[in-house]
Chain A
């Protein structure tokens, strides 16, 4: 989710009889739900696909701090400000867990950050939408983190050990994010008419971008098959999207807000809510770099990296000097 449209580094699933002995043993482990650990043998394509997916996931956590950071100084109360600060700090931590998981696959964090800044890696499309007012911050926690949880709970069962363990930690913290978001939007939905209007507006604007977080429909998601066989992906995009819709509609109804899509309707036969597909051409356009905030987000990320260079270098120079002195003294 935070990883969308990950191109699997392979040309379809290899039939078992074409697999080498190592590949067969690897696939057997996955089929038996035995986790793959960093130093275990793994196919090169598995490793490459995981680096792409975990890297994109990590980038999303870090870029995701920007739309929320925008509101820290303007939170309506000191309590809301402390909560938002804690949430944004968590996102930095999530980025760190994920970069660490990716690093066990033989890529360094700085390399991944460079690839992002060169435009060779992406982050989730959702963070290319603006947060226009305080209600958006509530809606982001509730819907965006809510959607993230649906995806990440599934990923706790992913086949790569370090990734699965990072997900366990992240899910624990993410639950706080969704609940504080719902709490903030609830205060507005039951507040003054103007506050309620803003809550409704935030829901209307963020609903479809939240649905897009799960990636294109299964029919269009051409790379899923191998990732599912490797249990890098555990559930399909459409399955996860449906789960998110089903759990969120009653939450909207509780707030007495209007549903953001006229086609949302309970389908007795399927046992799920029907809903409209998001505007997929818009999604592909945002992914390509033409969303409302793509340029600003990358500018802010690159500036943070460049402006922090003297601090990183200074601390390292100091550490090296101290280490050299210690050696000299011995």
Chain B
């Protein structure tokens, strides 16, 4: 097995999860939970591929994906912020809506090839032994975008005024309201931004990492993994990056395990017994569950966790008289 190649393509796969999770972190930090990530990613993947295919310009495709994801998330925003409906129900319906839309609008595009995001190596950095080969060699540009995104979002959330307001709205909207922060506007904005990132993540699959449109197999549940990743990451972009890349590497690793006839000098059981492969495919998810359990007990001690107002609609004067 080529370890460098597993790690390198794992980083690339993880970028999809990373982008989607960062978007969901921003949304959830404002107190809105959007379980429709899977649907928004599918719509983004479809829009990205279709527009790239018809216009012949991959950047137009990315733009379309971002817009499509954002627009779809606005449906969730209107339902949960304006009409104060249940966020879980609305998020789940958004997944169905997004999946349906993507399948209908993507009909007939399977099997075509569209332009893809260009690849590049970073001069100098790619010369670093091992690390350079894994992180900075022959990646599509979205991977590098991911590298920049994480510190930027972490800085934005923790060290800027809009970030402060974002956290305040998600933790204690009543407090933010009394200080003149517009709760509804803030929540609309970050729900929209979360949708944009989900759309981009979808396009990152269809026009960069695994180019092509294969109906709902394109995203194949990665939207749900991104939602779980947010919890694993304790709503922290750095941990989301760690989790995203780790998960990407695991996915890639389990794929590679099935290939060779001989593994570590022994006959590869996964090559000869295909039923065992199902267990292999489970491992990333099992590890996710373990990480969640372990992570949440550590979080409780340090008082980090879900934004306190996550999932609760805000209405002024709830307590009334």
The answer to whether A binds B is: no
Chain B positions near chain A (C-beta within 8 angstroms): none
Chain A positions near chain B (C-beta within 8 angstroms): none
